[in-house]
Amino acid sequence: MNKNKSEFNKEEIDADFEKLNAPISMPDLAGNEVKYITDCVNSGWISSQGKYVKKFEKDFSAYTQSKFGIAVMNGTVALHLALLALGIGEDDEVILPDLTFAATINAVLYVGAKPVIVDVGIDDWCISPVAIEKAITTKTKAIIPVHLYGQVCNMDIIMELAREYHLKVIEDCAEAHGAEFNGQKVGTFGDIGCFSFFANKIITTGEGGMCVTNSESLAEELSVLRDHGMSKTRRYWHEKVGYNYRLTNLQAAIGCAQLENISSILKKRDEIENLYIDGLQDIKEIFFQSKFEKRKKVTWLTSVLLSPVVNREVFIKKMSAVGIDIRPFFYPLSTMPIYSQFSNEQGSPVALELSQRGINLPTMTCKNSDFYATVISQIRAFFCQTMEGNDE
């Protein structure tokens, strides 16, 4: 795995090699998932009522060190409900990072508010506190920091800004289950933390999400909005226009089983990232995520930057040809015509650069070290051949 470039040759790379089945992600369902789902089916409680929904909410909120957990059907609606519960609506401005999945900005548009897109930091890839402060106006009502690719935003400064300007904070933790800032779990700094349990996330329910909060009144509002706006004390009496955003008992059963193993899942993911670091440390064209004092990042996917001299599209196609699924970073929101009107005057040069250079590598806890050794050998082969060819 630590061979020098000169030690690789095409015959060695191709010898006895069958096309690898290496998707970007795969859920690890080696715990009690089948047992708990079977229990659901046998009990007849397979919809949004049942013991596993309540247990998942209780256990996940405890894991995140929050008082309340409200399970929902996916991470996008978690963001939508959070904005609604905080009273964000028409004419309000919500600051969010340019480098994030579209769900973050879509949720703001759902409530009729105006997204304000700002740049991210070159070192942590997360929303820039400096850019946040420059974008604040009298109409700004909230900030959505996104803990991107398992990295943690600088929550000290973000919360200082929120207090100074009286802003709500909704943490987008879709890719950062278990990450911490100064020993405190993400999702617990702001008013509401939003998580996703999509199949490629650190833990999964297939589709699913969760809002966590320490506010009893917000928890109550989130719960009512999730369940058609129905009164908690008077069945079929609707106090407001709500939504059917409920998680099923079947999905929650999977979540309970996943949560039982989250510590080992996070440990395995860190070990996978370390395999990549050890195996690719001498490839000067690859740069891994930074680590910061007070921030405990987690490994969602192994995320790296390529040197600007590398043709990323060629690399992705070469890896695909041998069965390795490499994913590029998200496009900056501001580069897409439907969102470009919401970019700020300063633009987002850092987000653009990161988007053009970033890739995610296969990260699956159900694969062993021999599997990753093969993936790494193929990545090394590309750089040994391609970059040596460029030097000639």
Both tokens of residue 151? 């990295």
Matching residue, tokens 């995320």: 303
Both tokens of residue 144? 């959505």
**DSSP string computed for 155-218:** HHHHHHHHHHHT-EEEEE-TT-TT-EETTEETTSSSSEEEEE-BTTSSS--BS-EEEEES-HHH
Query: Do residues 98 and 351 touch, judged by C-beta distance below 8 A?
Result: yes
Bridge partners for 230 per DSSP: 238
Both tokens of residue 297? 């990042």
Other Cβ atoms closer than 10 A to 47? 13
Which residues, including other chains, have CB under 8 Å from residue 367's CB and lie 6 or more apart? 26
Backbone φ, ψ for residue 81 (5° rounding): -65, -40
Per residue, the 3-state secondary structure of 285-350, as one string, reads CEEECCCCCCEECCCCCEEEEECCCCCHHHHHHHHHHCCECCEECCCCHHHCCCCHHHECCCCCHH
> Taking Cα atoms as reference points, which of 145, 109, 115, 111 lies closest to residue 128?
145
Q: Is the dihedral of CA 348, 354, 356, 362 positive or negative?
A: negative
Query: Do residues 239 and 224 touch, judged by C-beta distance below 8 A?
Result: yes
Backbone φ, ψ for residue 247 (5° rounding): -85, 145
Name the catalytic one among 185, 201, 297, 367: 201
Other Cβ atoms closer than 10 A to 312? 18
Query: Do residues 316 and 357 touch, judged by C-beta distance below 8 A?
Result: no
Beta-carbon-side half-sphere exposure of residue 252 (alpha carbons within 13 Å) = 29
Is 201 catalytic? The answer is yes
Query: Do residues 132 and 161 touch, judged by C-beta distance below 8 A?
Result: yes
The terminus-to-terminus CA distance of the chain in angstroms comes to: 25
Catalytic positions are: 201
